[in-house]
Amino acid sequence: MGSTRQTVELGPPEGAASLGASEPRPTPGPATRPAAHRLLPTGLAGPLFVVLLLAVWETLSQLKLVNVLLFPPVSTILARFLTLWTDNTFPSNLLPTLTRMLLGYALAAGLAIPLGTLMGFWHGVYDRLEPLLEFLRPLPPVAVLPALVLFLGIGDEMKVAIVLFGCFWPILLNTVDGVRGVHPTIVEVALMYQFTTARILRSVVLPAALPQIMAGLRTGLAIALIVAIVSEMIGATQGLGFFIVLAQRGFRIADMYAGIVLLAIVGYLLNRGFLLIEAHLMAWHRAQMSPGGEG
Amino acid sequence: MSTRIQGLLVIVAILAAWEAAAWASLVNPAFLPPPSSILLAWKEIVASGELIQHVTTTMRVWVQGFALATLLGVSLGLLMGLFRPLAAALATTVELLRPMPSVAIIPIAIVTFGLEDPMKRFVTMYAATWPILINTLYGVRSVDPVLIDSARTFRFSEPRRALKVILPAASPYIATGLRLGAGIALILVVTAELVASRDGLGYFVAQSQLSYRIPDMYAGIFSIAVVGYLLNLAFVSAENRALGWHRRLASRQ
């Protein structure tokens, strides 16, 4: 995962937003971190250690030193994984999970980025909504699930809606924060050139706020997957979360682990994919921001 | 009139509109009862002691899970930051496990620990450890090398250097990790209670919905929001108070 960027930044930017934009921005640490900084070393030791862990698990399980029912051998889990993948069980459960998750995520981004931009640009709006947002933001999205089930049942609509609700907040708050952090001089220069407000927002403010928006989108993506899985755990007929819970209740433990492995792979790949897109966008961002200086 | 007061007025306005909409049957009051009846339900579950009992359960698990996560995350982050071989050995494990949605650990915890507190504690600890670990590691890595060299010049022993120099210098990052971990811990406690449990706020909300006590359900959701809000508030103000020295130092530079 080459996780330097995303491991570091998954935390702090969200934190920056939650401190409340009305306070003076704190100077220390998290806000002013160096960009490229290898947090975790790369090398052979890491993969070797994972192999070692798996080998220990396999051995303990084969020698029946741990409860085999609860900790089936790694080889069994792997075999089940391959079977479940080739007999189409995994693909047919993965597809609905990903579809609902990405739909909810896209809707959240489509709503939160424009709304956050407007709220950040016209401070007055944001300042007046802040007490409400401060109260709603720390609410775990899963707590709203039972209420959503009332309105939407346990079908796709509910699952898309809860994903939307869950990742709306980090995207919104980071966008607001990013837009508010745009240097006023840039906006004033644009005004001097008699740009229209729409053009200022689109071609000046949004690009300048991009890093922070990306941070929100990254946090949102992690939350989207979590919430999609939980929504399937409480009621579904297909989906990866449903599969895992069903396997657990039926005490098909190797299947349960195989499902969790698949989920881990999905989480990993989503993360990687996001980082690739982000790297592209940020390269563009730097190219846009550097010539002519920042104001 | 300050914007803060206007902001509170916005909340009042929304509640009033909601109340009116419910009375005018613009929304189905069976699904979305007016705030007044939610407040009544809330007063009732407070008076009967039911709410306190569930809040206590939720907070007990939260405190235990979060304390374990703090212990694990800070010590592991510190050690990984100080000893490169350890970081190298654990790097892949961390990179593989961290992006996995933490709720996936719930079924494993259920088959291993059952449905009671140990399961919830484990799940909470697991999820909250990541942000604490990563931020601690990051904090340790960003300590000014000059600080470490000075400590070396004064012949601080290695443990003393770690505890008296590196840990305080990394504390703003650790504080961020703790605040994020606290929020995630609450999400996981509530999710575990919702998915599989017999007590706690998440269970109360799910149970109220299943038995169609809808005002109770909203009162439960409201209580979770209050808990989340107060926790966040506590962490932000503790952070501001505890790290005031750091901010003053940083702004002087």
Q: Mind listing the pLDDT tens digit for each residue in A18-34? A: 333 333 333 333 433 43
B112: chain A residues, CB-CB within 8 Å: 70
Q: Give the model's pLDDT for residue A9.
A: 35
Of A27, A130, A271, the CB nearest to B7: A130
Better-scored residue on pLDDT, B45 or A137: B45
Please tell me if residue B211 touches chain A, with a CB cutoff of 8 Å.
Answer: no
Cα–Cα dist A255/A83, whole Å = 10
Single-letter amino acid, residue A228:
A
B141 touching A, CB under 8 A? yes
Angle, vertex CA A252, rays to CA A251 and CA A258, nearest 5: 135
pLDDT digits (tens, 9 = 90+) for A212-266: 999 999 999 999 999 999 999 988 889 999 999 999 999 999 999 999 999 999 9
Instruction: Please determine, for residue A277, whether its predicted confidence score (pLDDT) is greater than 60.
Output: yes
Question: Tens of pLDDT along A100-130?
Answer: 999 999 999 999 999 999 988 887 888 888 8
Question: In whole angstroms, what separates CA A2 from the centre of its chain?
Answer: 17
Nearest CB partner across the interface for A19, out of B218, B220, B236: B236
Q: Is the pLDDT of residue B242 over 70?
A: yes
For residue A84, what are the contacts with CB-CB under 8 A and spacing of at least 6?
A90, A255, A258, A259
Q: How many other CB atoms sit within 10 Å of the CB of residue B170?
A: 26
Query: Is the CB of A29 less than 8 angstroms away from the CB of B89?
Result: no
> Is-contact B185 B127, C-beta < 8 A?
yes
Number of Cβ atoms within 10 Å of the Cβ of B4: 13
Compute the average pLDDT of residues B169-196: 92
How far apart CA B18 and CA B39 sit, in angstroms, is 13
Alpha helices of chain A — where are they, by DSSP H? 4-10, 12-18, 45-62, 74-86, 89-121, 123-136, 145-152, 156-180, 184-192, 197-200, 206-234, 240-249, 253-289
Nearest residue to B216 via CA among B27, B49, B52, B45: B45
pLDDT winner (highest mean) among A57-66, A187-196, A275-284 = A57-66
* A50/B93 touch (CB, cutoff 8 Å), yes or no: yes
Evaluate if residue A203 carries a pLDDT over 50: yes
A273 touches chain B (CB under 8 A): no
**Which pLDDT score is estimated for B143?**
86
Q: Is the model more confident about A250 or about A37?
A: A250
Taking a contact as any Cβ pair under 8 Å apart, which residues of chain B between 33 and 62 contact chain A?
none
Q: What is the DSSP letter of A204?
A: I
pLDDT for the residue A6 = 33
Is A37 in CB contact (< 8 Å) with chain B? yes
Average pLDDT for B43-52: 94
Residue A291's pLDDT band, with cuts at 50, 70 and 90, is low
A56 touches chain B (CB under 8 A): no
- Residue B160 above 50 pLDDT? yes
Please report the DSSP string for A148-169 in residue order: HHHHHTTSHHHHHHHHHHHHHH
Cβ of B190 within 8 Å of Cβ of A143? The answer is: yes
Please write down the long-range contacts of B163-170, taking CB distance under 8 Å and 24 or more positions apart. Answer: B166/B78, B166/B81, B166/B82, B166/B140, B167/B78, B169/B139, B169/B143, B169/B144, B170/B78, B170/B81, B170/B136, B170/B139, B170/B140, B170/B142, B170/B143
- A207 pLDDT exceeds 50? yes
Distance from CA of A288 to the nearest CA of B (A): 29
User: What is the structure's pLDDT at B253?
Assistant: 57
User: How confident is the model over B52-71, as pLDDT tens digits?
Assistant: 999 999 999 999 999 999 99
Chain A residues 179-218 with a CB less than 8 Å from chain B = none
Split at pLDDT 50, 70, 90, the class of B108 is: very high
pLDDT of residue A1: 35
Contacts of A132 in chain B (CB under 8 A): 7, 10-11, 14
CB contact (8 A) between residue B134 and residue A7? yes
How close is the nearest chain A Cα to the Cα of B5, in Å?
Answer: 8
A142-191 residue pLDDT tens = 999 999 999 898 889 999 999 999 999 999 999 999 999 888 888 888 88
* Pick from B96, B92, B101, B95: nearest CA to B127: B101
Looking at beta carbons, which residues of chain A come within 8 Å of B190? 140, 142-143
Q: What is the DSSP string of chain B?
A: --HHHHHHHHHHHHHHHHHHHHHTTSS-TTTS--HHHHHHHHHHHHHTSHHHHHHHHHHHHHHHHHHHHHHHHHHHHHHHHH-HHHHHHHHHHHHHHTTS-GGGHHHHHHHHH-SSHHHHHHHHHHHHHHHHHHHHHHHHHTS-HHHHHHHHHTT--HHHIIIIIIHHHHHHHHHHHHHHHHHHHHHHHHHHHHHS-SSSHHHHHHHHHHTT-HHHHHHHHHHHHHHHHHHHHHHHHHHHHHTHHHHHHHHH-
Residue with tokens 């811990």: B185
Q: How confident is the model at residue A134 (pLDDT cuts 50, 70, 90)?
A: confident
Q: Quickly tell me which residue has 């005002």 as its tokens.
A: B215
Question: Which pLDDT score, from 0 to 100, does residue B1 have?
Answer: 66
Residue of chain A whose Cα is closest to the Cα of B106: A245
Listed range (A29-38, B104-113, B154-163) with the worst mean pLDDT? A29-38
**pLDDT classification of A290: cutoffs 50, 70, 90:** low
pLDDT at A292: 52
Counting residues of chain B whose pLDDT is more than 90, the rounded percentage is 66
Q: How confident is the model at residue B183 (pLDDT cuts 50, 70, 90)?
A: very high
pLDDT, tens digit (0-9, with 9 covering 90-100), for B197-232 = 889 999 999 999 999 999 999 999 999 999 999 999
User: Does the beta carbon of B173 lie under 8 angstroms from any beta carbon of chain A?
Assistant: yes
- Out of A29, A142, A151, the one facing B139 most closely (by C-beta) is A29
A interface test, pick of B129, B173, B197, B222 with most A CB neighbours within 10 Å: B173
Residues of B in contact with A130 (CB under 8 A): 3, 7
Check if the beta carbon of residue B142 is closer than 8 Å to that of residue B170: yes
CA A83 to chain CA mean position, Å = 30
Residue B234 is which amino acid?
Answer: A
What does the pLDDT read at residue A230?
93
Phi, psi (5° rounding) for residue A36? Answer: -95, 110
Q: Under an 8 A CB cutoff, do A15 and B179 touch?
A: yes
The arithmetic mean of pLDDT across residues A195-202, rounded, is 86
Residues of B with CB below 8 A from A225's CB? 101
Q: Does A14 touch chain B (CB under 8 A)?
A: yes
Q: Is residue A61 within 8 angstroms of chain B, CB to CB?
A: no
One-letter amino acid at A197 equals T
- Nearest alpha carbon to residue A260 among B104, B50, B64: B104
Asked if A137 reaches chain B (Cβ–Cβ under 8 Å), the answer is yes
List the single residue in B6, B87, B208 with the smallest CB-CB distance to A128: B6
- Does A13 or A290 have the greater pLDDT score? A290
d(CA B252, CA B242): 18
Put simply, whether A24 touches B (Cβ < 8 Å) is no
Per DSSP, the three-state class of A137 is: coil
